[in-house]
Every structure is written in C-alpha cells, then in structure tokens.
Amino acid sequence: MDIKQLIKKIRKFFNKRNILIICAVFAAAVILAVIIPVSAKQKPVIWYVDEALEKNWGQILADYNPPSQANIVQVWDGITLPQEEGMVISFKPWVETQEIVKVFHRLSWELEHDGAHVLAVDPWMIFNKHTNPPITYERISGSGGRGVILIPGRDIEAVRAWSSRFIQEKPGSFPQGNGIWKTWESKIFDTGLFSPGMRGYDWNAVFFRLMGADQAWLYAPISKIRGYRDPRKSILEASPFPQQGGIEASMLAKILWALPVKSASGKTQKTINNVLTWLKSPEIQTVIADSMDMIPADPYGTPYDPVSLTTHRLWLTTVWIYSIYE
C-alpha cells in the first residue's frame, strides 16, 4: 500500500459520522474519569442510634435504600453529641435535660423541636373490649363504679404513666423537680383505683384480665397492643385518657427523633439534607413505625390497624404531648 492509498483510507475513516462517535466516546471517558473518583471519595453517613435500635435500624437501611451511598450504624452513648457529621436516631436526643418529663406544644403540627424531627410515636391510650363502655373521668377521679382498672405494677414505666396523670397540674404543665415522681411511685397504689394485688402484675397478667369476661380498662402504649400476639385483640378499641370536660387534652407518648449533626466542614451536609427528606417521607415513617410497633408521625403515614388509626388521629389533634424519661 503506497502513501496515497493510506492517506485516502485515513480521510475516509475520519468522516463526519465517525468523528462524532469518537468525540462521544472521549467525552464519556472524561466524565467517568471524573465521576468515579468523586463517588469513591464520598464520605458515608454515620447513623448514631440508641443501643436498642442498632439491629433494627441497620435492617431498615439495608431494605429501603436511603439517599446515601454508604451508611455506618454506630451506637450512641446518649451522653454527648457526636463531633462528626451524621444523624442521631434516638428516643432522647437532648442530652442536657435532667427532668423526668419533657412537654411539647403542638408537636404534631410542627413535627420538629430544637432541631430534632419526629419520625414515629408510641402514644399511651386507654384500651378496652368494644363490648365495654369507654372509661370516664368520674371513674378515674375516684367516684367508684363498675369494672376494673388494670396496671402492670411491676413495670416502672406504667407506674410513672399513671402517676403523671395525677402529677400534671393542667395539660402540659408539671411541677419542677423529680422528687414528686418518687413519691407517686408508691402513692399511686393508695388511690383506690387498683386492687392491691396489681402491684405485682406484669403485662401478661393485665392482658389476661383485659381479655377476660370482666369489664376492664388498660392504660398502655400502642406498641404493647401491637406486640400482643393474641388474635382476639381485634375486639379491643382505643380511646384517649379521660380529662375534665372543657380543657385541652394532653397525650403521653414515647417519641423517636432524628437529629442532624453538623460540623464546621459541612462535607456531607447536602447528603444529610437528602437523608432527612427521606426520613420525613410518609412512606419511610410508616416503615419505621411498623418495625417498632408504633405509629408514623406524619399525617399521611399509614397506621397499621384500627386501634393504630384511632391513636394516629388523636396524635394529630392533641395540643400537648409529653414524654417521660427514666
């Protein structure tokens, strides 16, 4: 092949169509060369979680694809806020509070408090068989009447839940100091509301009596009802804790929060913002709530069953929410 033929073939190869193809391939190679190293260098999002949430949260991240390419689940001690950017997932993200009770005003409207965002809620409700009437304020205030009020007296959480209803001065208002809570841990059994033997009851005992023939009421978190595996529980209905007519209601609830942790560098801030948007979606909040037998905080989340639906509606309309911390 002489030089003229070679030049002719080269010119034929470099026609307009082939030049466009070569340019496209080159451009793609350049883009890949830039994107791949950048992606590889993206820092993982660190999820600082309560110890009890570690396994559950890892499963949620694995199954539902958050908008972060890499995730590290790390147990948070709950004592000091992390220094490195990430997301705290906790039932108590405020390390500075020393009070047993913390009150939130219009929380279901705002879904945020001091930079933390509500993901899921575990409200306390009164549960009874649908064949029994709801409990009245008069019955709780000591006027007597038919039926039995149940309490698992061996569970300090349940004792404090009932105590809070007597300690609360008005919806959303509690006295300062923790001494009064200690007093009521014993005093609650002297109110005449509960039979003497209930001081030794556990949750199995109260559920046995709740599902029995007696007219009975149980003050419990929705998670306890959802976690109760007896198929007969479909006969249960939920109602709010009765309060004196004409005053605003309050609701006791355990709350799961997401608290973004920022740093001076802000290297992962955009990713964390995207993660927060993901966490606030009704679909993901429904997943989170269902994995913990709670209800989603978002008004468009989907409650699991009829008693969860009743509880969700009450959560959305209650002005005062309070949590008790041990």
**Each residue's pLDDT tens digit, 313-322:** 999 999 999 9
Helix (H) or strand (E) holding 89: strand 86-90
pTM of the shown model: 0.85
Question: What's the rounded Cα separation, in Å, for the pair 166 and 186?
Answer: 13
What percentage of the chain has pLDDT greater than the value 90? 71
- Give me 291's structure tokens: 């994995």
- Name which of 96-105, 167-176, 244-253 the model is least confident about: 244-253
125 vs 22, higher pLDDT: 125
Distances (CA, A) of 120 to 112, 156, 315: 12, 22, 11
Q: At residue 242, does pLDDT exceed 50?
A: yes
End-to-end CA distance of the chain, in Å? Answer: 91
Question: What's the rounded Cα separation, in Å, for the pair 186 and 153?
Answer: 10
Q: Do 127 and 240 contact (CB within 8 A), yes or no?
A: no
260 strand-pairing partners? 87
Q: At residue 162, does pLDDT exceed 90?
A: yes
What percentage of the chain has pLDDT greater than the value 70? 84
Taking the CA of residue 101 as centre, how many other CA atoms within 13 Å lie in the half-sphere pointing to its CB? 30
Q: Which CATH number fits domain 45-324: 3.40.50.620, 3.50.50.60, 1.10.760.10, 3.40.190.10?
A: 3.40.190.10
Residue 141 is predicted with a pLDDT of: 85
Q: Do 121 and 252 contact (CB within 8 A), yes or no?
A: no
Residue 8 is predicted with a pLDDT of: 59
Domain boundaries, given as residue ranges, for the chain: 45-324
At 225, which amino acid appears? I
Can you tell me the mean pLDDT for 8-16? Answer: 56
Residue 154 CB-density burial (10 A; 0-12 exposed, 13-18 middle, 19+ buried)? middle
Of 225, 223, 158, give the one whose Cα is nearest residue 194: 158
**Each residue's pLDDT tens digit, 58-72:** 999 999 999 987 899
Q: Do 120 and 223 contact (CB within 8 A), yes or no?
A: no
